[in-house]
Structure formats: C-alpha cells, structure tokens
C-alpha cells in the first residue's frame, strides 16, 4: 500500500514537471509570435503594442522557472568532465552527494527568500509599473515555485544516488 501511494505521488509529480515544461514551451512560442507581430507592425509603419517588450521579459522569467525542474530531472547541467573523470569512483560518489546536497540547500534558500519577497509584495500591495503593470508578488511566485521544485528534484537525485555525470548515468541504465 505504501509503495503504491509513493508510486502515485511520483507519477503525479512527473506529470506536474512535464506540464510545467510544456507551459514553458508554450510561452516560448507566444514570445516568438509577439516578436513577429511587433516587428511586422513596425515594418508596415504601424504602432506595435507598448506591452510587447515587458510581456516577453516577464515570460522569460516564467518559462525559465517552469522549465528548470525538468532540466534538473533530465540532467541538463554542465559538469567539468576533465576534473570529474580524474577522481576515483569513491570520491565521485562523495562529490555527487556533496554537490546534490549543496544544490538542494541553495535551491531551498532561494525559494524561501523569493517566497518571503512574494508575501511582502502581497502585504504591501506593491506593483511594478512599466508598460504593463505587474503585481510584485507575481515576479517572485515563479521563482519560489521553480526553486522549490528544483530542490525536490535535487533531493530525489541525492536519495537515488544519481551521478552528476551524464556519461555515468547513461552507463547505469
């Protein structure tokens, strides 16, 4: 029973991570469309919407944070293989645990700080005023969510005993 509920939670988590990366892909497509519309209108001597630049800047934050947990799960990070390969397998195992632990810790710290700033933004009613007014909390909410989810993914890597090296991970499967 316990394994079945753990499996259900794991599947739900994976669907959430996959859904967020699909959301990120949709935002990239929307940004491209906005840019094409902006440039096309300018080339025809028309005035493009004033909010295009602000909207694409905000969406870059959202899409980055939405895709980040998936990137962690897929091991889409950079490892200095030259140094990594020169360490013994025992040292690599310890190094992996240290790195995953540090990544988890940093992700939690950033998520907590962003969460605090989001709550403060709500309490103060702060608004970022540009061509498109945005509640300040809405700038910190995706950071809180993205880094929280990355912390979970790094913790999963730590618990499973994953390797930082993609080459080693490929050999394990």
pLDDT digits over 41-82, tens only? 999 999 998 889 899 999 999 999 999 999 999 988 777 777
CB 37 within 8 A of CB 52: yes
CB-neighbour burial class of residue 91 (10 A; exposed 0-12, middle 13-18, buried 19+)? exposed
Q: Does 153 have pLDDT greater than 60?
A: yes
Q: Which residues contact 142 (CB under 8 A, 6 or more apart)?
A: 61, 62, 65, 66
The neighbour count for residue 31, using CB atoms within 10 Å, is 17
pLDDT at 168: 53
CB 28 within 8 A of CB 108: no
Q: Does 173 have pLDDT greater than 50?
A: no
Q: Which residues contact 47 (CB under 8 A, 6 or more apart)?
A: 41
3-class SS of residue 51: coil
How many Å apart are CA 168 and CA 170, to the nearest integer? 5
Does the model's pTM come out above 0.85? yes
pLDDT at 75: 85
């Amino acid at each position: 029973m316990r394994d079945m509920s753990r499996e259900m939670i794991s599947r739900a988590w994976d669907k959430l991570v996959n859904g967020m990366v699909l959301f990120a892909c949709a935002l990239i497509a929307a940004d491209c469309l906005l840019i094409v519309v902006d440039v096309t209108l300018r080339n025809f001597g028309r005035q493009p919407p004033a909010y295009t630049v602000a909207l694409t800047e905000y969406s870059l934050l959202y899409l980055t944070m939405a895709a980040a947990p998936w990137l962690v799960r897929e091991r889409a990070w950079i490892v200095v293989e030259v140094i990594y390969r020169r360490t013994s397998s025992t040292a690599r195992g310890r190094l992996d645990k240290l790195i995953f632990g540090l990544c988890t810790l940093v992700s939690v710290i950033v998520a907590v700080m962003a969460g605090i700033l989001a709550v403060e933004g709500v309490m103060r009613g702060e608004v970022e005023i540009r061509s498109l007014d945005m509640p300040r909390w809405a700038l910190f909410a995706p950071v809180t969510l993205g880094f929280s989810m990355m912390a979970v993914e790094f913790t999963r890597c730590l618990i499973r005993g994953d390797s930082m090296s993609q080459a080693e991970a490929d050999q394990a499967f």
